[in-house]
Amino acid sequence: MKNDIEIDWQKIDNIISKYNANHEALLMIMHDIGEIYNYVPQQVIPVLVDRLGVKESLIYSVATFYKTVSLTPRGKYIISVCTGTACHVRGAEKIMGALEEKLNIIEGQTTEDRLFTLDSVRCIGCCAAGPVVNVNKETHGGLDRSSVLEIINEYKHRAS
């Protein structure tokens, strides 16, 4: 997957300035950049190193530790399949399998068109509605194979 996108450096500058180039705000800054591009593009890393005075290794550590920031392209829609115990018992594995098949990716990957990223998550607190899937901030419960595929079609439709 290509990782070279056009960066709006003014926007990057605005984000860094908003936090007064404070190195303690690194996670927030990476978050805000992710809001624009769905990930933190590689070209931005040297700028963060320079402006915030942080080590490049710290940026990689933050991206590894926090699932909410990524250094590789993420989809417009992040699908998080709950694999907590209650959802597991109610068939989360089948839901994950159906999504992997439909999107032609495996967990952790992003579709070529950058529309979907498939992830798993541990209990999102709606166990009674399991199996549950979050798509960005929207929660869908009581799913089976066909209803989860309908949901994907709906997001595809929204994006077109």
Structure tokens at 11: 């926007």
Contact with ligand FES (CB under 6 A) among 130, 134, 140, 143: 130
x/- mask, ligand FES, residues 48-87, rule CB under 6 A, reads ----------------------------------x-xxxx
Name the residue with the smallest CB distance to ligand FES.
84
Residue 28 in the binding site for ligand FES (CB under 6 A)? no
Residue 95 in the binding site for ligand FES (CB under 6 A)? no
If you search the block for the tokens 């320079």, which residue do you land on?
50
Structure tokens at 136: 């960005």
Q: Say how many C-beta atoms besides its own lie within 10 A of residue 39's C-beta.
A: 23
Residue 123 in the binding site for ligand FES (CB under 6 A)? yes
Are residues 111 and 105 in contact, defined by beta-carbon separation less than 8 angstroms? yes
Residue closer to ligand FES by CB (options 38, 140) is 140
Residue 73: phi and psi, rounded to 5, are -55, 135
Amino acid at 81: V
Residue 126 in the binding site for ligand FES (CB under 6 A)? yes
